[in-house]
Amino acid sequence: MAVQNGKDLLIKLDLTGDGQFETIAGLRATRISFNAEAVDVTSLESQGGWRELLGGAGVRSASISGSGVFRDAGTDERARQIFFDGEVPDFQVIIPSFGVVQGPFMITAVDYAGSHNGEATYELTLASAGVLSFTAL
């Protein structure tokens, strides 16, 4: 994979539920993490005393975070609505030269901050809430 621009890692939100995704406004930094629980099946019969893990077991999850400048755009408004209504809509994460991850996410945290001589900023944290799909680019 060639070197990529960080600004090309995008978090997109399905604003109306019709599959039309828009980039969340004002984001400056984004991150996606994939996780899988390990299920330890080591026993006295494990060869050489080495730990054994059960493949395909355990819970898989993904988390997304982003921070940026508050713009009060349509996507900002929709993200606030999703949080306060407890909705779990589809999001997309575009990973440059890698692929697109799509599926339901819950917004688990929204933070707003600002200083008297600076811009208003915000941070979002999302947790996967169902099956995710991956489409290679």
Q: What is the pLDDT of residue 17?
A: 85
Domains recognised in the chain with CATH numbers: 6-136 (2.30.110)
CA distances from 135 to 10, 59, 96, 98, 100 (A): 15, 21, 12, 9, 5
Q: What is the pLDDT of residue 7?
A: 78
Q: What is the pLDDT of residue 62?
A: 96
pTM here? 0.86
Q: What is the pLDDT of residue 1?
A: 60
Q: What is the pLDDT of residue 128?
A: 97
Q: What is the pLDDT of residue 130?
A: 97
Q: What does pLDDT average to in each consecutive run of 10 residues of the chain (137 residues)?
A: 78 89 90 94 94 93 93 85 95 93 96 91 95 95
